Amino acid sequence: MNAQPKVAIVGATGAVGVEIQKCLEERQFPLSGLKLLASARSAGKKVEYAGRVLEVEELRPESFRGVDIALFSAGGNVSREYAPVAAGEGCVVVDNSSAFRQEEDVPLVVPEINGEAALHHPRNIIANPNCTTIITLMALYPLHIKFGLRMIIASSYQAVSGSGQHGIAELEQQVRAIVNGDPVVCSTYPRQIAFNVLPQIDCFTDTGYTKEELKMLNEGRKIMNLPELSVSCTCVRVPVYRSHSISCVAQFERPVDVEVARACYAGMPGIALMDQPARGEWPTPLDATNGDTCYVGRIRKDLAIPNALSLWVVGDQVRKGAALNAVQIAELLIR
Ligand code: A2P
C-alpha cells in the first residue's frame, strides 16, 4: 500500500462520514488526495478539510478509479452495491455497515484487539464492527487476556446519533415540541424517544433478540477468536445525543479479582479506568463524547454469577465505535 494513499469517504455528509474527516485531519493521516462521496442530493456541497475547500461528489461506479482506500459509511445497501466495485478497482474498502462482517474472507477488526487481521484482506474488504460491540470489547478484552472470557450478559444504552443525522434531529424536534406543548412526531423511531427509552434497536429475529443484539455475540466471537463465547444482550435506545454506555456482566474461565481487573487497563491504548466509586467517580456518555478514549468503571465482583465481574463502559460510538476505528484500520494498512 502507498504510504500516502488517495482516500475516499463514501457517506461523507453523514454523521460518521463527517467524523471520519475530523479523525483523518486530527491524526494528520498522510493522504495524497481526499474524495468526498455521497448521494446526488449532496453533490456540489462544499466542505473544508485541512484548510482546503473540497466539493462533495455523487457516488458512481467510476468514483474509485485511482483511490487506494475507501471508507464506507452510507448504510448496508450502498456497501453491498459499491464495496465490490471499489474492491475490484484495487481499492481497499473499510466498511462500516454490517453487510460483510460475518463473511469468512472479510476480516472484522478492532485495531487494539486483532489489528494484525487487517493485513490479510483477500477480497479487499475489511469490516468495521458494530459500535456497541467495539466499545464493550474495548473494556472486556484486557480482562479476557487475564482471566479468559466465557460469557457476556449486557444491556446497552445507545445514543440517537447511532441512527445518523435523522436520530439527532428527531430527539431535538421532539424535545422542542414537548417543551412548547406541541404534538410529538415520530419518524425515525417507532415510539417517542424524548424523555423515554426504547428497548428495540434494529428488527427482531426469530430468536426474540434483535439483529443489533446478536451482533455482540457473532462479532465478539469473530474478533476475539472465541467460537464458544456466549452472549445475551439487550440493546436500548436512550435520549442521549452521543456516546453509548453498556452495563455488562462478564464471566471468566478463571477466578477474578477486582484490583487485578483494574490493573489490566494500565497502559492499554484506547481505554481508561474511571472507577473511584467512593469519590462518586464513574464514567458517563458526556465524559466520552468527542474523545478517542473509552472509559470503564463500576468494576465489581458479580454477586450472582461465579468468576464474573460487573462493569460499566462508555465510548463515543461515532468515533471509536465507527469513524476512529475505521481510520485506525486505514493507518494499519499504510504502516
Ligand atoms: P446524503 O447526505 O447525500 O444523503 P447518516 O447515516 O448520518 O444519515 O448519513 C448517511 C450518509 O450516506 C450520507 O452521507 C448520505 O448522503 C449517504 N448516502 C445515503 N444514501 C446514499 C446513496 N444511495 N448513495 C450515496 N450516498 C448515500
Task: Assign 214 a pLDDT band (cuts: 50, 70, 90).
Answer: very high
One domain for residues 61 and 99 = yes
Q: Residue 54 and residue 167: Cα distance in Å, rounded?
A: 26
Task: Assign 165 a pLDDT band (cuts: 50, 70, 90).
Answer: confident
Look at residue 284 and tell me if it is in a domain. Answer: yes
Which pLDDT value is given to residue 196? 98
The answer, yes or no, to whether any atom of ligand 1 lies below 6 A from the CB of 5, is: no
- Domain of residue 216: give its range: 133-317
Measured in angstroms, how far is the CA atom of residue 74 from the centroid of ligand 1?
5
Of 88, 49, 86, give the one whose Cα is nearest residue 70. 86
Task: Assign 335 a pLDDT band (cuts: 50, 70, 90).
Answer: confident
The answer, yes or no, to whether any atom of ligand 1 lies below 6 A from the CB of 60, is: no
One domain for residues 122 and 137 = no
One domain for residues 53 and 139 = no
Look at residue 292 and tell me if it is in a domain. Answer: yes
Look at residue 69 and tell me if it is in a domain. Answer: yes
Which pLDDT value is given to residue 274? 98
The answer, yes or no, to whether any atom of ligand 1 lies below 6 A from the CB of 201, is: no
Cell numbers found for residue 211: 439483529
244 is catalytic: yes
One domain for residues 79 and 146 = no
131 is catalytic: yes
The answer, yes or no, to whether any atom of ligand 1 lies below 6 A from the CB of 74, is: yes
Of 300, 329, 320, 321, give the one whose Cα is nearest residue 312. 300
Look at residue 278 and tell me if it is in a domain. Answer: yes
One domain for residues 210 and 244 = yes
The answer, yes or no, to whether any atom of ligand 1 lies below 6 A from the CB of 297, is: no
Whichever domain contains 104, its CATH number is 3.40.50.720
Closest protein CA for atom 1 of ligand 1 = 39
Look at residue 41 and tell me if it is in a domain. Answer: yes
Measured in angstroms, how far is the CA atom of residue 84 from the centroid of ligand 1?
18
Name the average pLDDT for the chain: 97
Other CB atoms within 10 A of residue 266 CB: 9
The answer, yes or no, to whether any atom of ligand 1 lies below 6 A from the CB of 167, is: no
The answer, yes or no, to whether any atom of ligand 1 lies below 6 A from the CB of 169, is: no
Measured in angstroms, how far is the CA atom of residue 325 from the centroid of ligand 1?
20
Look at residue 99 and tell me if it is in a domain. Answer: yes
Which pLDDT value is given to residue 2? 84
One domain for residues 139 and 252 = yes
One domain for residues 157 and 208 = yes
Q: How far is CA 37 from the centre of its chain?
A: 21
One domain for residues 71 and 157 = no
pTM: 0.96
Q: Which of 18, 39, 56 to mutate to test the pocket of ligand 1 (most atoms within 8 A of CB)?
A: 39
**Which is catalytic among the residues 233, 244, 264, 294?**
244
Measured in angstroms, how far is the CA atom of residue 36 from the centroid of ligand 1?
11
Look at residue 1 and tell me if it is in a domain. Answer: no
Task: Assign 112 a pLDDT band (cuts: 50, 70, 90).
Answer: very high
Render pLDDT for 113-124 as a digit per residue (tens, 0 to 9). 999 999 999 999
Q: Residue 3 pLDDT more than 90? A: no
Render pLDDT for 166-213 as a digit per residue (tens, 0 to 9). 999 999 999 999 999 999 999 999 999 999 999 999 999 999 999 999
Render pLDDT for 239-289 as a digit per residue (tens, 0 to 9). 999 999 999 999 999 999 999 999 999 999 999 999 999 999 999 999 999
**Which is catalytic among the residues 131, 233, 248, 264?**
131
Q: Residue 297 and residue 204: Cα distance in Å, rounded?
A: 31
The answer, yes or no, to whether any atom of ligand 1 lies below 6 A from the CB of 78, is: yes
One domain for residues 232 and 296 = yes
One domain for residues 173 and 253 = yes
Measured in angstroms, how far is the CA atom of residue 14 from the centroid of ligand 1?
6
User: Which atom of ligand 1 is nearest to 12's Cα?
Assistant: 14
- DSSP symbol at 184: P
Render pLDDT for 32-64 as a digit per residue (tens, 0 to 9). 999 999 999 999 999 999 999 999 999 999 999
Of 238, 125, 120, give the one whose Cα is nearest residue 171. 238
One domain for residues 121 and 176 = no
Q: How many domains does the chain have?
A: 2
One domain for residues 50 and 191 = no
Look at residue 231 and tell me if it is in a domain. Answer: yes
Helices 15-26 and 324-334 meet at what angle, rounded to 10? 50
Whichever domain contains 216, its CATH number is 3.30.360.10
The answer, yes or no, to whether any atom of ligand 1 lies below 6 A from the CB of 70, is: no
Question: What is the percentage of the chain residues whose pLDDT exceeds 70?
Answer: 100
Closest protein CA for atom 22 of ligand 1 = 39
Beta 308-315 vs 244-252: how paired, if at all?
Answer: antiparallel
